[in-house]
Every structure is written in structure tokens, then in C-alpha cells.
Amino acid sequence: MKKLICIDLDGVLNTYCGNYEENEIPSLREGAFEFLANLSKEYRIVIFTTRSRNSAKNWLVRNNLMQFITDVTDVKPRFASIILDDRALNFDGNFNKAYEKILKFKPHWKS
């Protein structure tokens, strides 16, 4: 069985840059289609989003991405091998480093 990867929608697959609009999902980020196509060969892909599930699924269908997606959820799956998110930090066991990373953190679109 393939491992599970959980990927955030806004700011990862699309061009979200901090201006949230409930009924409008930003355009597909360049390279996202190829990225998901390649990942789907090795992983089951779940899309994580705080948007409505129907809106997210419709966006994925319009962008021809549902063929690579196992599910869309607003809960990060507990058995995910990897979580890819534009607002996440990796914890390496060192709280001092984690604290510094948190203080300096900016999502990629603010860098």
C-alpha cells in the first residue's frame, strides 16, 4: 500500500497570498499538476483545506487534479507520512531551535 501524504491547498497548490476570499480559490500554481502527477505514483494524496470540501473538490476538478487525489478534508490525517503546508515548521527535537524558527517564521509568499 502507498504511504499517505497530506498537502495543503492554499499557498501550496494555488497562488494564495494572504487575501482569503471564501468563494474564490486562487489560480493553480505553476508546476502543481506535474508535482501531483509524480507524487501520485508513490503516495496516496489527501488535500487539506479550511475551505468547504465541495469548493475545494470543484477547484480540483476544474484544474484536472482529482485524478491524483484520494480525498479532500479539513482534518489532517493522523496516519500521514508527510504533511506539506506553507505554514508549517519541522520539529527536530530541539525546542530552542523551534522557538527561534517560530519567531522568524513567514509563509513563503511573505518572504
What is the structure's pLDDT at 23?
Answer: 83
Range of the domain at 67: 3-110
Structural domain count of the chain? 1
Q: Among 18-22, 33-37, 68-72, which is the least confidently predicted range?
A: 18-22
Query: How far is Cα 17 from Cα 28, in angstroms, rounded to an integer?
Result: 12
What is the structure's pLDDT at 13?
Answer: 97
What is the CATH classification number for the domain harbouring 49? 3.40.50.1000
Query: How far is Cα 90 from Cα 100, in angstroms, rounded to an integer?
Result: 12
What is the structure's pLDDT at 26?
Answer: 96
pTM of the predicted model, to two decimals? 0.88
What is the structure's pLDDT at 111?
Answer: 77
Strands, E assignment, 1-111: 3-8, 43-48, 69-73, 82-84
pLDDT-derived band of residue 64, with 50, 70 and 90 as boundaries?
very high
- In the chain, what percentage of residues exceed pLDDT 70? 100
